Amino acid sequence: MKEFDVALKAVAEGLRTMAQGMEKIAEKIEESTPKKQAKEKPVRKAKKAPAKKTAKTGTASDAVLAVINRSKKGVNSATLAKKTGFDNKKIANIVFKLRKQGKIKSVDRGVYTKA
C-alpha cells in the first residue's frame, strides 16, 4: 500500500511539472504571435424614416379631412392614400373615426364626402 501511495505522489508531482511547462509554452506562444488590434466599430444610430408630408394642418385626420373637403363628388380610399401618403390601413382607421365624429359621410362604398 505504501508503494502505491509513493507512486501516486510521483505521478501527481509529474503532472504538476507538466502543467507548469505547458503554461510557460502557452505564454511564449502568446508573446510570439502578433496581436490583432480590435477595431472599434462606430456606433450607428438608427435612422428614422422621413416623415411623410401631409397637408399643412398637422394631424393625419386633418390631412385626410382636407383632401375630402376639397372634393366636390367625393374621394375614394385609393385617392386618399395617394394624396396623403398614408397606407390603406391608416386611411381606413382615419375614415372610420371621421365618420363616427360626423365630419364625413359615405356616398358610395369607399367614396367619402364632407358631411
Task: Name the packing angle between helices 88-101 and 60-70 (round to 10°).
Answer: 80
Q: What is the pLDDT of residue 110?
A: 87
* pLDDT over 90 at 101, yes or no: yes
Hey, which bits of 1-115 come out as E strands? 75-76, 104-108, 111-114
CA dihedral 95, 96, 100, 104 (to 10 degrees): 20
The arithmetic mean of pLDDT across residues 98-113, rounded, is: 92
The number of beta carbons lying within 10 Å of the beta carbon of residue 79 is 17
How far apart CA 94 and CA 56 sit, in angstroms, is 17
pTM score of the predicted model: 0.50
The yes-or-no verdict on residue 83 having pLDDT over 80 is: yes
pLDDT in tens, 29-52: 888 877 666 566 677 777 766 666
Q: Which range (32-36, 63-67, 76-80) has the least confidence?
A: 32-36
**Mean pLDDT (the chain, rounded):** 85
